[in-house]
Structure 1
Amino acid sequence: MTIRKVKSGYRLLSKKGKNLGTYKSKAGAEKRERQV
């Protein structure tokens, strides 16, 4: 999975490029990444 910085925060993307959610902080995105 990839965490990419976007204007609205940080976006968590799957290996295929599917958006798994956008988070205000990088920590929030990393926390979600560990859940899935």
Structure 2
Amino acid sequence: DANNECQTGDVVIIEECRPISKMKSWRLVRVVSQADSAAL
């Protein structure tokens, strides 16, 4: 995401939106749960 709110392994909710770039047409709605960084 643009604000670096998410990390690999986080569970998030996304929604479709207008095209932001050639490959991106979704946006982050919210982070449901964050991944345990020690588990990665």
Band of TM-score, shorter chain: under 0.3
Structure number with higher strand proportion: 1
Greater relative contact order (Cα 8 A, min sep 6): structure 1 or 2?
A: 2
TM-score (norm. length: structure 2): 0.22
Structure number with higher helix proportion: 1
